[in-house]
Amino acid sequence: MKLSRSELLARIKTYEWSDFEVKAAQNEVPRDAFETISAFANTAGGHLVFGVQQQRDEFEVVGVLALDKVQNDLLSALRSREKISYQMVTSDDVIETETGKLLVFYIPEAPRQHKPVYLNGDIRRSYIRRGAGDQRCNEDDIRRFLRAAGGPSYESEAVDLDLEASVDAATLERYRQRFQAQNPNHSCIPYDNAHFLEHWALAVAGEGGLRPTRAAILLFGTGAALRTMMPRPLVDCRWADYPWDAPAPERRWLDRLVCEENLWTCWEQLADRYVQNASKPFAIELRTMERQDRPEDFISFREAAINLLMHQDFEETTRAATIAFHPDRVVFENPGYSRAHKADLLEPGAKDVRNPLIVSMFRRVGLSEQAGTGIGAIFSDWRRRGRVPPEIINDVPSYSFRLSLLAKELMSERQLLFQASLGARLSDPEAHALAILCGQSHVSLPEFRASLGMGTADTLAVLGRLETQVLASRIGRADGACYELAAHLRDRWPFPGLGKVTPGSSLVTDQAARREESLVTDQAPPQGDDGRRAARPINKLTVQQRQLLAACDTPRRQTELMALLGVTHRTQFRTFHLQPLIDGGLLQPQFPDNPRHPRQRYSLTPVGAEIVGRQLKAEGASNEP
């Protein structure tokens, strides 16, 4: 939580974020500082810095003059229930700079039982952090906070409906068949439907007999009973043929499924339609010679879809949960943010969930608990497939939770080219960690653990080796220690714009603005300080360079390679074709200390061999009927 002097000054030089706010506060606590405190406490916490003045888009350190007075006044106000509704435990620090002293306060997020945190005894003076500003909560925001604060869960409330008439017997029977397959010796298997529901607290005694809970209607209710509670669809699922962030064409969807039945039927419909639309490369099981058609990303889809069904806020009647399939990603978005912090979602163990009865019913039939927690299973599956880690955005201000499965290869050819040009010897975990850093402004330790599939000690060892090689830097943030790509590498990474992530934007993506042109052009190579040609990293291979790599599966002489390309000018060949591959770590000379050795030959490095192998695999796939 504590920011170092260098980290603080670095953040002041950029701009305010959702977890960072500055005030001049030279002689007294400004009135709007308490609005920021309320907003931080109601959102995700953050740092409040006194002694910095904002002038348009720039910040100037002016220092706090009445240091003791300002510090004592703020801490006293935070202990007063008349000023602020929740007495939070804050941390404060004094940081000296050349132009004055700064007061830095860390305001933690309040527990949900104490939200909304409001000012002057007036709950209407509750604030929330949106982007880099503090906004007063509207009536919907306040109602959401109060709903989440405590009391019986919405799903556990009984509804005044006839149990037998409001529960769809066919849906419940399909669930019970799966339950029996998963729990063949359970004592409740002989129960009739009413007692089965009562056993799991889905039906409660009332006047005239058993009454269903909202959870029973949501899980197994008839269409008529469900619509008395839920005027919106449970899920709106769409398939599109254009990228996620591209303008929508006139024909927005190739296929669409709007689920308006109960949760169990909804899951069955989603699974069936997913299999119909999925790309299904098949395999033959050698023992039985049967064809296996399950899509390779089914595990991730199942866990993400079940999480979406279980954890949405069913009291939100205006927004449906959505699943959007695009060529570059699949996006699952729920009304209602997660009650667990992002770091906690990546850890195994019990979570604070919104709908515990519904979660338990899915878990009892083997859903939502495959391979550990749902989010953990998704990260594990995406890691196995060599993809960029899933993106999680738990957006408190927008009251939504978004999980994106990116169809992006982690160790892409560009990443291989970049890492080869560094000249560092990296293990597979180190190479993967560096690739993750190249796609994000910062990465927390829990995110690294989930993305690498390693324990804390091993993950810290990997990150420590990257720090030792000056490839990564550790930074302190409000949500704990994070890591970023070393500053000297940001200009070398071929996708500019890294580190300029606006609040609320993707934290796990390498979709930054791309520079598609090759860095190997027909210009004179740059000269180093000693007059020798400086090495240039390769961003994109030319056709000629790919030909050279394919030919060097066995050691080749320079004359052989020149003949392959039909080039006669030795200097141009070496400058524009051969040397960039050597500098980029893709080709290696047999006699590196003697370039003019009469028996000099060139062969592939391990990275060069990897790129050639990928190229051959891609060509083979394109030639398949």
Greatest Cα-to-Cα distance within the chain, rounded to the nearest angstrom: 100
The mean pLDDT of 16-33, rounded to a whole number, is: 87
Percentage of residues of the chain with pLDDT beyond 90: 52
C-beta of residue 65 within 8 angstroms of C-beta of residue 27: yes
Neighbour-count burial for 309-348, b at 16+ CB within 10 Å, e otherwise: bbbbbbbbeebbbbbbbbeebbbbbbbbbbebbbeebbbe
Q: Which residues contact 490 (CB under 8 A, 6 or more apart)?
A: 498, 499
The mean pLDDT of 173-201, rounded to a whole number, is: 94
459 confidence band (pLDDT: 50, 70, 90): very high
Q: What 8-state DSSP symbol labels residue 111?
A: P
C-beta of residue 512 within 8 angstroms of C-beta of residue 495: yes
Token pair recorded at residue 368 = 């939502």
CATH domain 237-406 topology: Heat Shock Protein 90 (3.30.565)
Q: What 8-state DSSP symbol labels residue 67?
A: H
Q: How distant, in Å, are the alpha carbons of 538, 546, 611 from that of 583?
A: 8, 15, 16
pTM score, two decimals? Answer: 0.80
- CA torsion sign for 576, 580, 586, 587 is positive
C-beta of residue 427 within 8 angstroms of C-beta of residue 420: no
The mean pLDDT of 559-576, rounded to a whole number, is: 92
C-beta of residue 353 within 8 angstroms of C-beta of residue 373: no
Bridge-partner residues for 602, per DSSP?
Answer: 556, 589
User: Which pLDDT does position 534 carry in this prediction?
Assistant: 41
Q: What is the pLDDT of residues 595-608, one digit of tens each?
A: 889 999 999 999 99
Contacts for 420-427: CB closer than 8 Å, 24+ residues apart:
420/584, 420/585, 420/586, 420/605, 420/607, 420/608, 421/492, 421/535, 421/537, 421/538, 421/583, 421/584, 421/585, 422/471, 422/489, 422/585, 423/585, 424/469, 424/471, 427/462, 427/465
Distance, CA of 512 to CA of 528 (rounded, Å): 30
- In the predicted structure, residue 507 carries a pLDDT above the cut 60: no
Residue range 543-622 in CATH 3.30.360.10: no
477 confidence band (pLDDT: 50, 70, 90): low
- In the predicted structure, residue 294 carries a pLDDT above the cut 80: no
User: Which pLDDT does position 494 carry in this prediction?
Assistant: 57
Q: Which CATH architecture has domain 413-489?
A: Orthogonal Bundle (1.10)
User: Which pLDDT does position 377 carry in this prediction?
Assistant: 83
Q: Is 73 helix (H, G, I), strand (E, B) or coil?
A: helix
Contacts for 346-349: CB closer than 8 Å, 24+ residues apart:
346/375, 346/376, 346/379, 346/446, 346/447, 346/449, 346/450, 347/373, 347/376, 347/446, 348/372, 348/373, 348/376, 349/373
35 confidence band (pLDDT: 50, 70, 90): very high
Residue 463, amino acid: L
Distance, CA of 289 to CA of 616 (rounded, Å): 29
7 confidence band (pLDDT: 50, 70, 90): confident
* Closest-CA residue to 278 (of 363, 190, 405): 405
* Closest-CA residue to 518 (of 538, 490, 545): 538
User: Which pLDDT does position 283 carry in this prediction?
Assistant: 58
Q: What is the DSSP string of 541-600?
A: --HHHHHHHHHTTS-B-HHHHHHHHT---HHHHIIIIIHHHHHTTSEEESSTT-TT-TT-
User: Which pLDDT does position 503 carry in this prediction?
Assistant: 34
Q: How many CB atoms are located within 10 Å of the residue 525 CB?
A: 17
Q: What 8-state DSSP symbol labels residue 351?
A: -
In which element (H, E) is residue 263 found?
A: helix 263-277
Distance, CA of 132 to CA of 16 (rounded, Å): 6
CATH domain 5-148 topology: 3.30.950
Q: What is the pLDDT of residues 105-162, one digit of tens each?
A: 999 889 888 999 999 999 999 999 987 789 999 998 898 888 888 767 889 999 999 9
| CATH topology match: 413-489 vs 543-622 | yes
Question: Vertex 38, ends 120 and 73: CA angle to 5°?
Answer: 65
- In the predicted structure, residue 495 carries a pLDDT above the cut 60: no
Token pair recorded at residue 206 = 């009332």
Domain ranges of the chain: 5-148, 154-229, 237-406, 413-489, 543-622
User: Which pLDDT does position 248 carry in this prediction?
Assistant: 83
The mean pLDDT of 63-76, rounded to a whole number, is: 92
C-beta of residue 400 within 8 angstroms of C-beta of residue 336: yes
Mean pLDDT of the chain: 84
User: Which pLDDT does position 98 carry in this prediction?
Assistant: 85
